[in-house]
A and B are shown apart, each in its own frame.
Chain A
Amino acid sequence: MANAILQVENLVKHYGDVHAVRGVSFSVEEGEVFGLLGPNGAGKTTTVEILEGLRTLDSGRVCVCGLDPERDSDALKQEIGAALQATSLPDKMRVIEAIRLFASFYKRQRKPEELLQRFGLDEKRNSFYGQLSGGQKQRLALAMALVNDPQVCFLDEPTAGLDPQVRREIYDVIEELRHDKKTVLLTTHYIEEAERLCDRVAIVDHGVVIALGSPRELKARAGGTTRVEVRLSKPESNGAMKNLEGVVDVREVDGAYVLHSQRPPQTIVSLVKHLESQGNELVSLEIATPSLEDVFIEMTGRRLRD
């Protein structure tokens, strides 16, 4: 890739007998918001931490901003910003002190005041870290990831555990980064987050990239079908469900039948008729355009949150 600022080739990492990452490859272009989407334990955080220079790789090759994270760790840290998962600051450190302290570590610095304003932390500038809400702590983490005006920004599960309102606030912040043409590598297990924020997404499962492309391209793999998810009072055979009109694919996931249909109205009519003939009842029915979750289900037979 011509403008790849970040390259990963056949990355492998083991923790004892656990194969966390098993040959991951992808590259990220300058100015791109790239997502690693996958369930917990898929190897997303390990991949990111190797790119940040926090962990060593077992085999493969990674390159960030033209630097080797293991060999050029000091130089690399000047060029990247990171909002880590499971990190913290001392409870008695003030917001402004944290930003000033971390800014002082870098050769290139942004003005702390500007970051406070941009991340809506101006009013909390003198508050202790321990007094901040979850959303405010996350906004501070993002502000601190940008103190050095980084070339690449790593955001590891930036909205995990936050309520929907705060999550949307964080989305706005990340969208602003995209407007600013910042390169962002985002890990998430939220479908909405990947679809809304990422230019391209790599879907990761069990340490392997199982699909890669823009959200639109990935969803197109569902073949322009509509997703019809039904729950029934009695089980039906997959074969019977696949014979319904317009249905091209059926999967049973968590006790529900996920049907991909090219003609949803006809599918529903034939479903109702079939259930009547079998003395079965419809418990629930959901119709949706295909999401990245459908791609994941198609590739793994499991839901992303499992």
Chain B
Amino acid sequence: MKNFVALTRMRVQLAFRNKMFFFFVIVMPFAFFFLWLGLLAKGIPDRCAFYLGPVVAFNVMGSFWGLSAALVLFREQGILRRFHVAPVTASDMLASSIVANYVLTLPIVALELFFARVIFHVPSLGNPITLFLLISIGIISFGSLGLVVASITNTMQETQVLNQLLWLPLIFLSGATFPLAYMPRGVQRFGLFLPATYLVNGVQQAILNAATPWSRYVEILSLSLWACLTFFLSSQLFRWEPEAKVPRRAKLLVAATIIPFILLGVAENMSDRVLREASAALARFDSGPSSARPASLSIPIKPATGKPSGSN
């Protein structure tokens, strides 16, 4: 425990001295926040409320990128070797990465929520407990995804390629950038297999409909289970040495991390719950006080189902 606390403190300290950290963890999320709420939502409070969930989820998900890169860099530079010869365990190292990432990301998200209320006059932040739970679990689970990426890639180049391959579907097919209800049917169906979709939907429902934690149990439990699974796997596949390569068989083991969302995706495709909720949120957004829709969203609406679910 003592080692884990010391390592967490070190990671936070180092992050504040890193210019890249300022860009990717502070500048970029706020740029994205102001772009979406200021330009796409034109600063209209109800529209800002609609976009706030995806914007927050986008920033929460982004944490996996820096976490994987930092760990691979530590391994490539032989920094992990130095820790390996000290009484430090792989779990100390991985858990400190997750907690440091949480400590660094949470205030940024909190500031975004604060600015949403103060600057964009978003009427309500919905249910704060649900919001806090989903944001916390989201930071931890996507952070754990970063650890898995770091565990199965051998070089920084491989890490960046895999991060890109994961990042693009996560942000474009989950509703984090463009509302899920706008997407073609096939994309919507595919989106239900992505963990990001559940984070975006859960956060959006917590803000727009003040959804209770109990009503969001599917999102909370699935992301929690995923976080445990990815953390466990990354601790099993953790490598201290730069020359230690991950066996191909171990990479297959990582496929196990997608099982919860394959099962959930099948169930959600049958029930259409998430798609109904996404459509209902969009319908409310469209019937807001100002009917002018942002230029980028002027594609025809293609509701997921004919039957919106209503509020929670």
Contact = CB atoms under 8 A, between A and B. Distances in A.
Contact of A105 (B6, B74, B77, B81): B6
A54 B84 contact: yes
Interface string B23-66: 00000000000000000000000000000000000000000000
B78 A88 contact: yes
A104 B78 contact: no
Interface in B62-108: 74, 77-79, 81-82, 84-88
A90 B14 contact: yes
Interface string A147-181: 00000000000000000000000000000000000
A87 B87 contact: no
A53 B241 CA distance: 13
Interface of A: prevailing SS: loop
B187 interface: no
A80 B74 CA distance: 23
A101 B6 contact: yes
Contacts of B18: 92
A82 B83 CA distance: 11
Given A92-B18, A104-B2, A97 B13 contact: yes
Contacts of B241: 54
Contacts, number: 55
Given A52-B85, A105-B88, A88 B79 contact: yes
Interface string A67-95: 00000001001101010101111101100
A74 B240 CA distance: 16
A104 B83 CA distance: 12
Given A90-B14, A97-B13, A105-B3, A77 B81 contact: no
A190 interface: no
Interface residues of A, number: 23
Interface residues of B, number: 22
Contact of B14 (A52, A84, A92, A105): A92
Contacts of B10: 93, 97, 101
B249 interface: no
Contacts of B84: 54
A102 interface: yes
B88 A87 contact: no
Contacts of B85: 52-54, 77, 80, 82, 84
B87 A106 contact: yes
Contacts of A77: 85-87
Nearest to B15: A92
A89 B10 CA distance: 12
A87 B78 contact: yes
A286 B306 CA distance: 97
B79 A87 contact: yes
B17 interface: yes
A78 B86 CA distance: 8
A293 B97 CA distance: 48
B42 to A, nearest CB: 41
Contacts of B74: 90
Contacts of A78: 87
A150 to B, nearest CB: 11
Contacts of A84: 78, 81-82, 85
Contacts of B77: 88
B3 to A, nearest CB: 5
B14 A93 contact: yes
Contacts of A105: 3, 6, 86-88
Nearest to A154: B85
Contacts of A86: 78, 81
A208 to B, nearest CB: 23
Contacts of A89: 79, 82
A186 to B, nearest CB: 16
A24 B184 CA distance: 67
Nearest to A81: B85
A90 B79 contact: yes
Contacts of A80: 85
7 contacts: A87-B78, A88-B77, A92-B18, A93-B10, A102-B86, A105-B86, A144-B82
Given A78-B87, A84-B81, A105-B87, 8 more contacts: A54-B81, A87-B81, A87-B82, A88-B78, A88-B82, A89-B82, A92-B14, A101-B6
9 A-B pairs with the lowest CB-CB distances in the bound complex, closest first: A92-B17, A77-B87, A87-B78, A82-B85, A87-B82, A104-B6, A105-B86, A88-B78, A88-B77
